[in-house]
Amino acid sequence: MKNKKALCYVALLALMVWCIKGFWSNNTVKVKPLELDQSQQEFQQQVNRDDLLRKEHEISTLKVEMARLKMESSKCGLESKFSPEIPKIYAITPTHYRAVQKAELTRLSHTLMLVPNLHWVVVEDAESKTDLVTKLLAKTGMSYSHLNAATPKSWKPKAKEPRWVKPRGVLQRNTALQWLRDNVSPNEDGVIYFVDDDNSYSLEVFEEMRYLKGVGVWPVGLVGGLMVERPKINAEGKVTGWLTVWSPNRPFAIDMAGFAINLKLFHSKPNGKFSFESEKGYQESELLKHFVGSLNELEVKADNCTKVFVWHTRTEQANLAQEIKLRKENKPRSDIGIEV
């Protein structure tokens, strides 16, 4: 009897073990393929995600390439901007190397590229033409001439001089004027305008000057310590003087950006150029005295000199404190192999 009971217990135990084992093995048999499916699914999902990312990357690369090609093709359209029936604008830009030069010239070129029939005369203040300016000009697709003329060292500011008191860009502007005398026909219809690399220009200013017969004038914003400097205009629409505070008695108290000269008039006065001897602020007067006999002759532009289409902006010097630190510590500079 006792044996029978023990036998029953053993049988029951065996049954239980068998059941548990069966359940367990069933479970593992069922779970195992499920686990495999899940990881396979996850793997597949990851592959899909990677694929999607790759495709998105390809699409965005193609979009950038498309935009670049569009830009290139719009440059071909620049040729259609060559319209021989309208007078040509010769824009003269002196430029010198500093950290912000490429940024300035890029900004300026993107304005000038929009002006029909404009020839850009860029004069580098450098012993020889630099790669940076050469490549930048070639990339614009514009009509341009690239010159250089280095300002003598004795003219440059001394190490601790905060701002250069001597007139800037004089030699370069004269080099451009000489180039015009030597290379542009005196019979051509056109105008000459001095375009500094750091000023800001509205496209309107170029259309104001295009048909000048002599010398035209207009207001310049943010110059001479004022919001705007401009010619004083009388009821007859003639210039009678200058609305400036700084040195108002200059014969032409006007910034370089505030006038343009007809090309034929320029050619008719072979001595018309800037002078190194002029006092500060007298460069414009020095040049204009060759072309204008009296204020009465000036052509008043920009809606009777009531509109500002050009600003004498100045770019802050780049903060390169960390770059200087790198150099002091003999560490590699940040722009190795990359033109900024």
Catalytic residue positions, numbered? 284
Cα 294-295-297 angle, rounded to 5 deg: 75
Q: Does 284 bind ligand UDP (CB under 6 A)?
A: no
Say if residues 237 and 284 touch (Cβ distance below 8 Å): no
Q: Which residues contact 157 (CB under 8 A, 6 or more apart)?
A: 163, 164, 165, 166
Q: Give the residue with the Cβ less far from ligand UDP, 81 or 96.
A: 96
Q: Which is nearer to ligand UDP, 108 or 184 (CB)?
A: 108
37 is in an annotated binding site: no
Residue 232 tokens, joined? 């004083």
Pick the binder of ligand UDP from 109, 111, 151, 174 (CB under 6 A). Answer: 151
- What whole-number distance in Å separates Cα of residue 255 and Cα of residue 29? 90
Helix (H) or strand (E) holding 122: strand 118-124
Find the binding residues for ligand UDP in span 130-149 (CB under 6 A): none
Q: Which is nearer to Mn ion, 196 or 229 (CB)?
A: 196
Q: How far is the CB of 169 from ligand UDP (least distance, A)?
A: 3
Interacting positions 301-340 with ligand UDP (CB under 6 A): 314
Residue 125 binds to ligand UDP (criterion: CB under 6 A): yes
Number of Cβ within a 10 Å radius of residue 278: 15
List own/partner pairs for 222-228 with CB under 8 A and 24 or more apart: 222/311, 222/312, 222/313, 223/255, 223/257, 223/311, 223/312, 224/255, 228/308
Q: Is 247 in the site for ligand UDP (CB under 6 A)?
A: no
Distances (CA, A) of 273 to 27, 148, 215: 98, 17, 14
Q: Considering the rule CB under 6 A, would residue 169 count as an interface residue with ligand UDP?
A: yes
Residue 80 CA to residue 300 CA, distance in Å, equals: 30
* 125 or 299: CB nearest ligand UDP: 125
Judge contact between 195 and 201, C-beta under 8 A: yes
- H or E segment at 104? helix 101-112
For residues 326, 332, 333, 335, the Cα torsion angle rounded to the nearest 10 degrees is -160
Options 23-31, 47-55, 192-200, 281-289: segment touching ligand UDP (CB under 6 A): 192-200
Pick out residues in 203-232 that bind ligand UDP (CB under 6 A). none
- Minimum CB separation of residue 80 from ligand UDP in Å reads 29
Cβ-proximal residue to Mn ion, closest one: 198
Smallest distance from ligand UDP to CB 194, Å: 9
Mark the segment that binds Mn ion (CB under 5 A) among 66-74, 83-91, 188-196, 328-336. 188-196
Any contact of residue 107 with Mn ion (CB under 5 A)?
no
- The answer for residues whose C-beta is within 8 angstroms of residue 126's C-beta and 6 or more apart is 96, 97, 148, 150
Smallest distance from ligand UDP to CB 295, Å: 23
d(CA 135, CA 138): 5
CB closer to Mn ion out of 78 and 126:
126
| Count of residues in contact with ligand UDP, rule CB under 6 A | 13
In the numeric block, which tokens belong to residue 28?
Answer: 């593992």
Among 88, 168, 210, 250, contact with ligand UDP (rule: CB under 6 A): 168
Q: Select the residue whose beta carbon is closest to ligand UDP and give its number.
A: 169
What does the block give as tokens for 45?
């999902």
284 closest CA partner among 147, 173, 125 = 173
The yes or no reply on residue 95 touching ligand UDP (CB under 6 A) is yes
Q: What minimum distance in Å lies between the beta carbon of 104 and ligand UDP? A: 7
Q: Round to whole Å and give the CA distance between 197 and 190.
A: 21
Binding-site member from 103, 146, 147, 198 for Mn ion (CB under 5 A): 198
The residues that touch ligand UDP, with contacts defined as CB under 6 A, are 93-96, 125, 151, 168-169, 172, 196-198, 314
The residues that touch Mn ion, with contacts defined as CB under 5 A, are 196, 198
List, as residue ranges, the binding site for Mn(2+): 198
